[in-house]
Copies of this chain bind each other. A is one copy, B any other.
Amino acid sequence: MHDAESRTANLLGATALALSDLLLSGVGAAAGTSGSGAAALVVLAGDPDLSVTELGRRVGLTQSAAARMVDGLERQGLVRRTSTRGRAVAVRPTEAGTAAARRLLAARGDALGAALRHLGRDERAQLDLLLGKLLTGLCRLPGDAERLCRLCDRDVCVRDRATCPVGQADRDRRARSERGARDEQGARGERSARGKRGARDERGDPDDG
């Protein structure tokens, strides 16, 4: 990296660290729980009845760490495990859990709003575009989108037909990978047809003449 770029990298790293300190301590305190627990409550508020494994995946925990986190949230009366007919155990937020998720989204919004107050309207619009590009780049792997947005107030990003850049990047990635799979299948079909023709050529099949 050039010096100017290294400096921007430092600023980006320092901003990320400062905001995540602020957000994790703020949201943790608002929900009376750990950073992962707080993220789990926000995820469940938008998407209840996830399995323990899926919930863990979305907040970046292994299966066993996720099980311990759910134990803790259950002891605090914030979630309960429900067993639905024919399906694995699902984690569902209690009323207290849903209220905690609301509180922590409000605390997160306040902290981020306070940070943004140091920019003018045009600067915020500039920042919006730049962050959209950064996030599109950061969302490279399947499942990244849900992890990146785990603490987001999701309704806000899609109001008035707006598009969440992370969701869009995820849809684009899926479309590319499906197109790739179709192309690969087509190429395999083509190779196999060529192979058969080649074999017939070698055998000197009459219908090739």
Contact = CB atoms under 8 A, between A and B. Distances in A.
Interface string A107-126: 01100111111110001111
Contacts of A133: 118-119, 123
A117 B60 CA distance: 25
A144 to B, nearest CB: 8
Interface string A1-34: 1011111111111111111111100000000000
A43 to B, nearest CB: 13
Given A156-B7, A157-B7, A12 B115 contact: yes
Contacts of A21: 60, 147
Nearest to A112: B9
Interface in A98-112: 108-109, 112
B13 A108 contact: yes
Given A21-B60, A128-B8, A153-B6, A166 B14 contact: yes
A207 interface: no
A89 interface: no
Contacts of A16: 15-16, 18-20, 23
A142 to B, nearest CB: 15
A132 interface: yes
Contacts of A123: 130, 133
A157 B147 CA distance: 31
B128 A11 contact: yes
The 7 lowest CB-CB distance pairs between A and B, nearest first, are: A118-B137, A16-B19, A9-B112, A20-B20, A11-B131, A6-B156, A16-B16
Interface of A: 1, 3-23, 60, 108-109, 112-119, 123-128, 130-139, 147-154, 156-157, 159-160, 162, 164-166
